[in-house]
Amino acid sequence: MEIVPAIDIRGGRCVRLYQGDFGRETVFADDPVEVACRWQDEGAHRLHVVDLDGARDGWPVNADLVRRIVATVRVPVQVGGGLRDRPSIERYLDAGVDRVVLGTAAVKDRALLTEVLAEHAQQIVVAVDARQGVVAIEGWQEETPLAAVELVRELAVLGVTRVIYTDALRDGTLEGPNFPAIENLMARASVPVIYAGGVSSIGDLARLASLGLEGAIVGKALYTRDLDLREALEVLSPAGRPEEGVSA
């Protein structure tokens, strides 16, 4: 299972929000590029960058900073936040972004989703962000009537090749993943799933790996040092199985 450090950008700085609440922000660094280099140096094989301003405002507000990250690091970078039209998506892909993450657009603009999947299927990831199983969009500010599990099934039919499932109520809390929700999703999903939300220990990662997840995005636990990235990468095998002696 791939362990992917998260770099959330707001106002040009590296921050973490509590449960996606823009009023509950902790700033961890003034330079997201420096943070990206730190996670690369500690062994990350991929980075997950989110433009929080873009997610809320509907366009890639921190695009220049994202491009600086992509140009500086050597590892693949996946980027989400404010990608609501094809030119924005194409500009990121042309800049070297490995995967673009669509959230609101995937729910509200199926024509756009179908169009970009036709040309860039392997580089399109859909973010399924949920509170109590219900999908939230517009930077998690708006709830929809969609059930997360059903949305994942619909996306698979449309040709989406992977999804990121985030439990918004666990995000930034260090309370551990919502394992019942993940197990329910994995029992029905027919595409690879990357999980985010509440991961706080190697035990959490080992248990996620045992469920067959393709990856886990880790944010706050890395910044608070509750979780050491080097140690986590050493403990979890490339095949996604916990090494012998690691208990979930």
CA–chain centroid gap for 65, Å, is 18
pLDDT given at position 16: 86
Which of 97, 143, 142 has the alpha carbon at shortest distance from 116?
A: 97
Residue 8 catalytic?
yes
Axis-axis angle for helices 63-72, 86-94 (nearest 10): 30
| Phi, psi (rounded to 5 degrees) for 156 | -60, -40
Class (C level, CATH) for 2-235: alpha beta
Residue 228 catalytic?
no
Instruction: Work out whether the CA dihedral 39, 99, 104, 34 comes out positive or negative.
Output: positive
Helices H / strands E in the chain, number of each: 11, 12
Answer for the pair 223, 28: CB distance below 8 angstroms, yes or no.
yes
Q: Which sequence spans correspond to the domains of the chain?
A: 2-235
Question: In DSSP terms, which residues pair with 27 in a beta bridge?
Answer: 15
- Give me the residues of the chain with pLDDT under 50, please: 239-248
pLDDT given at position 240: 41
Determine which one of 51, 53, 129, 171 is catalytic: 129
Task: Specify the length of the chain in residues.
Answer: 248
Amino acid at 91: R
Determine which one of 8, 51, 53, 167 is catalytic: 8
Cβ-based neighbours of 225, under 8 Å, separated by 6 or more: none
